[in-house]
Amino acid sequence: MSTPSEIFSPGLEGVIAGETAISTITGGLRYRGYPVPELAEKSTFDEVAFLLLHGELPTHGQLADFNKRLASAQKLPGVLSDLLKALPKNAVPMDVVRTGVSILAHYDPDLGDNRKAANLRKAERLLAQIPLVIAEAYRATKELPVLTPRPELGFAANMLYMLNGTPPDAFDAKAFDVSLILYAEHEFNASTFTARVVCSTESDLHSSITAAIGALKGPLHGGANEKVMDLLLASGGPDKAEAWIRNALVKKQKVMGFGHRVYKAGDVRARVLKQYAKQAAQRAGTSQWETAAEIIEKVMETEKNLFPNLDWPAGRLYHAMGLEVPLYTPFFVASRVTGWAAHVIEQLEHNRIIRPRSRYTGPDEKHVKPIAERG
């Protein structure tokens, strides 16, 4: 039984667990005060990464210097590159990224320095290095050579180039860039809270990011974007989608890509990215899946009052762009490392170790009998 002063909230739902100046979902998602739809329309991921890490949108000069620092960090230790080639070809990409970040810690000159300036340097290096881990591991599974980064393309376009071997066209570069902006930060979600819990012990930034990646891997968090096309393909297309989704609801199957712990009237990020997913499908000749998605959305809203979250259009966009499903959540990591690092830095500036209480549901007090008297 709880005492009168205890508050029990399963999953910490509705609990204010800390303060942040990085983002808010109140009145629409904003990063450091800027509405995310405006950032998606008027800026690049490179600018948003600078905003999250350094507190304000960059000037031309600041952005140029930022991109130079990222370009200089776009290299991996030889030991890590060798490991990425040696890993089993069926290794889970999220596990590979998690391992990669952990190994990078051993080679970071600022590893043991938890001051803000050092953590910013580490964050920028990880931002530059994570796409290389993703690309080198992916190309190793295809027995393709590693490509030298082309930072002049911009963060998003360079990442697609390192994967595919050709620079993306303007639409694909913009669509992918917008997806990274939308994935970059989202208040006290599970992986971000994980990062803050780890660094609240005064552990290091790489440990915090490694733990956050583990949290993001789960299908109830970042891994949901990998399940979207599985769901749509299972629906059978526009002619069968309504019957399929109604049957799924009768069977109480979980429909990935819908609902959100916080957003009850829809996710603004999903509305922004939906337009890009639709255009990408038209370009790829896969508009039937957009039609099926619309049908499923209408049934979910009418029957369950549930709306799409960001993973719903993101999975469709990446599929239409020809990107392989196991890469979807690693893309999330490449973006969200900016938000995670910003939260680690913020947590450490006013740190108090995060240590909640639990509600005990075990037996009443018992007393130990000598082993000969037991049984």
Q: Which of 54, 95, 110, 221 is catalytic?
A: 221
- Which residues sit opposite 308 in a β-bridge? 258
Residues contacting 179, CB < 8 A, separation 6+? 273, 276, 314, 317, 318, 331, 335
Q: Which of 260, 267, 319, 343 is catalytic?
A: 260
Has 186 been annotated as catalytic? no
Helix (H, G, I), strand (E, B) or coil at 362: coil
User: Using alpha carbons only, how large is the chain's radius of gyration in Å?
Assistant: 22
Has 60 been annotated as catalytic? no
By residue count, the chain amounts to 375
Helix (H, G, I), strand (E, B) or coil at 237: coil
Has 221 been annotated as catalytic? yes
Strand arrangement of the beta sheet that strand 30-31 belongs to: 23-24, 30-31, 34-35
Nearest to 84 by CA among 8, 34, 136: 136
C-alpha separations of 57 from 23, 32, 122, 349 in Å = 14, 9, 20, 21
Contact 195, 212 (CB under 8 A): yes
Nearest to 53 by CA among 120, 137, 121, 145: 120
Q: Which of 46, 177, 311, 319 is catalytic?
A: 311
Type of residue at 92: V
Cα 222 from Cα 98, distance rounded (Å): 14
- Which residues sit opposite 149 in a β-bridge? none
Q: Which residues are catalytic?
A: 221, 260, 311
